[in-house]
Amino acid sequence: MKKTLLSAATLLALATAAPLAAHEDRSCLDEGCMLQSLFAEPDTAGTSVPTIAAQRFGTWGIDTAGMDRQAKPGTDFFRYVSGTWADTTQIPADRSSYGGFAILRDLSEARLRVLVEGYALGDPATAGDPAKIAALYRGFLDETRVEALGSKPLQPVLADIRAARDRNALARLMGTRGGFYDSFFNLSVSDDQKNPDRYALYLSQGGLGLGDREMYLRDTFKPQRERYVAYMAQMLQLAGWEKPQENATAILALETRIADAHWTRAESRNRDKTYNPRPLAEFASTSPGFPWTDFFQAAGVEGAGRAVIRQDSAIPKIAAIFAGTDVATLQAWQAFHATDNAAPLLSKDFSVAQYEFRDKFLSGQPQQRERWKRGVSFAESAMGEAIGRDYVALYFPPDAKAKMDALVANVKAAMGARLDALAWMSPATKKEAHAKLAGFGLKIGHPETYRDYGALVVKNGDLFGNAQRAGQFEWEYRRARIGQPVDKGEWGMTPQTVNAYYNSVKNEIVFPAAILQPPFFDPDADPAVNYGGIGGVIGHEIIHGFDDQGRKSDGAGLLRDWWTAEDAAKFEVQAAKLGAQYEAYAFPQLPGMHINGRVAMGENIGDLGGLTIALEAYHRSLAGKPAPVIDGFTGDQRFFMGWGQVWRTLWRDDALRQQLVNGTHSPGHIRAFAPLRNIDAWYDAFGIKQGDPLYIAPQDRVRIW
């Protein structure tokens, strides 16, 4: 497989972050650059746990050795900043992409391995969180026991599916949360977009094993569908399910009908259309054909009163598909998905089969990840904050938060100044925008209060059962919150997650400890580089509150229209211009594939606006003094290089294809330069002129925030 100079965009936070709520009120950053790690001396607090240190980038924050000085910034800014790095770096065999985010994740993962392997294996019922984490991790690593058990742990699940001989029983299985069953309809609990102080139940479309509807409906993905059928047949055969090939073919036909009923990704992120509250009692009449009462009772949410539907016109169609599909096919569908969900916890014939299809075939990953890495992810998925508490003690010095506080304050002030200077926005809308900015919450490093895992039952030597109980524990934790006051202090990511996010309902920006490292943030680096790195990230997350969807919530997190019609129309014109720019970028190695400008709109606006206000914040930080020249680079040059360095990424072609279909972020090498083309200071910094390939005439540059 070839490596591609393109960025990772959606693979973050799969194991360490809490799952996104169904209404997707959180917007994440993704991606990265280059980092190495090494073992250092034990920490100064005297702990016996060895720490793993992050390496700095050069002497002032930029890996100048990784640049390609022969490349012209106005021709290929990605190569100018990262060309030598790209030429000399290989994607590890157990990854489908590689770059700074991936390497920082490797660093975080290595640190967590030291932690979890240091926890004593005792009685999880009495020895507290460390013993529970040890049982989770070591149970996953006990490959001998896993192989001896084979498919035995899965058999009770399959027996329940065989016993579900009518649609009511099948709906009850679909409603069962926390195990390995799947559903045509996804349930989640999160902050109510129109009552931000209370939790609400959300329901959205589901049922697809290939991800996005386009995988089923476009001719481009015929090879993926054919291989999917072979994979389903393989898994059904391993599970001992009858007629595996025949059932696999029937499942694809079923999922294709569901895909045809699904909303597109662009439609599903439109907050004007995805808030549709409905009493549970009305589902039977508005979406007939599905046993809703059985479904809600099995999930334990019958007392919720109502659910907020995201794709309201799709739900009746999917319910009708359920009613029109024979019970045997529905059972086979559930049997495949349960087996697929459980495969990482079963013997090699299951786990390797899943890897061969989902990682190797779909994403081009040559080797399966080592078992210890998968074990760390498994333990994190169950008890991420408990591990994170110890991670913070070792790797998040208090002064890092103080320095981040100062950076955020400066970037917020810059955003306020930008609002004041906007020529296209009316005073009425500016007043609301300022109120929203003033109300922004900030979380840095780690939660003040960590999750209590006391009720989670973990047993030594019971990998499969531990996974079931952890899933049920998480669902019960969420389910019990319906209608209750929102926990304003809760985090949606663990401290060891390499990412950041904006939550529109809480109107807050969140930066876990693990991202506050080079290349994003180095307290000893040149300030220009920090402003281009973490400053751009801070700006990106702030702008998510004002992007094409975030702008639809006010300063209290309430979903409402606070714009004048004229201002909204002006915003939409600029947003459409930006979307067209991104859709014009070609991927020669993937003919016919393009960035979906509507789907990636929020992230692209976040990059452009975030970088714009970060640059203003950097200039404000100089307090009127000229920026020093370092190694021949001006302050503005170093700022833009800091941004470009963050988005170094290599991708395998198959993984890039998946990203363009299923992701919401533009590929990294695009993000390294695309927003810069709309910022006048970038042209001035590097002397970019008309005729240079990346040049955009001033009147055609997009100017939003």
CA distance 691 to 694: 8
Which amino acid, residue 271?
R
Where in the sequence is the domain holding 46, given as residue range(s)?
3-115+375-700
pLDDT at 25: 65
Burial 229-259 (b: 16+ CB within 10 A, else e): bebbbbbbbbbebeebeebbebbbebbbbbb
* CB proximity list for 402: less than 8 A, separation 6 or greater: none
* Residue 593 forms part of a structural domain: yes
Whether residues 517 and 577 share a domain: the answer is: yes
* CB proximity list for 253: less than 8 A, separation 6 or greater: none
| Cβ neighbours around 93 below 10 Å, total | 10
pLDDT at 30: 61
- Phi (first) and psi of residue 630, to 5 degrees: -125, 125
Question: Closest Cα partner for 276 from 249, 299, 307?
Answer: 307
- Tokens representing 27? 């917007």
Whether residues 473 and 616 share a domain: the answer is: yes
Strand order through the sheet with 195-205: 185-192, 195-205, 306-309, 276-279
- Look at residues 297, 325, 353 and tell me which one is the last residue of a structural domain: 325
* Residue 368 forms part of a structural domain: no
Whether residues 479 and 564 share a domain: the answer is: yes
The answer to whether the beta carbons of residues 121 and 141 sit under 8 Å apart is no
* Residue 144 forms part of a structural domain: no
pLDDT in tens, 667-696: 998 999 999 999 999 999 999 999 999 999
Number of separate domains in the chain: 2
* Residue 453 forms part of a structural domain: yes
Whether residues 309 and 399 share a domain: the answer is: no
- Look at residues 325, 359, 383 and tell me which one is the last residue of a structural domain: 325
The answer to whether the beta carbons of residues 101 and 30 sit under 8 Å apart is yes
Q: In which residue are the tokens 């100064």 written?
A: 44
pLDDT at 21: 37
Whether residues 490 and 612 share a domain: the answer is: yes
Q: In which residue are the tokens 């059932």 written?
A: 247
Which domain CATH number covers 476?
3.40.390.10
Strand ranges, E, within 372-479: 441-445
Helix (H) or strand (E) holding 396: none
CA distance 285 to 514: 48
* Residue 555 forms part of a structural domain: yes
| Cβ neighbours around 266 below 10 Å, total | 13
- Look at residues 260, 294, 325 and tell me which one is the last residue of a structural domain: 325
Whether residues 546 and 620 share a domain: the answer is: yes
The answer to whether the beta carbons of residues 602 and 550 sit under 8 Å apart is yes
Which amino acid, residue 588?
P
Helix (H) or strand (E) holding 502: strand 501-503
CA distance 211 to 14: 14
Helix (H) or strand (E) holding 526: none
Helix (H) or strand (E) holding 434: helix 427-438
Burial of 596 (0-12, 13-18, 19+ CB in 10 A): buried
* Residue 157 forms part of a structural domain: no
pLDDT at 400: 84
- Tokens representing 58? 């050069």
Which positions of the chain have pLDDT values less than 70? 1-26, 30-49
Whether residues 401 and 538 share a domain: the answer is: yes
Whether residues 402 and 289 share a domain: the answer is: no
Question: Omega into 519 within 30° of 0, i.e. cis?
Answer: yes
Which amino acid, residue 464?
F
CA distance 434 to 577: 25
pTM: 0.91
The answer to whether the beta carbons of residues 184 and 291 sit under 8 Å apart is no
* Residue 29 forms part of a structural domain: yes
Whether residues 512 and 641 share a domain: the answer is: yes
Whether residues 287 and 434 share a domain: the answer is: no
Helix (H) or strand (E) holding 587: none
Angle at 541 between CA 683 and CA 419, to 5 degrees: 65
Whether residues 692 and 556 share a domain: the answer is: yes
Whether residues 278 and 410 share a domain: the answer is: no
* Residue 605 forms part of a structural domain: yes
pLDDT in tens, 330-351: 999 999 999 999 999 999 999 9
Which domain CATH number covers 205?
1.10.1380.10
DSSP 76-125: -HHHHHHHHHHHH----TT-SEEEHHHHHHHHHHHHHHHHHHHS----TT
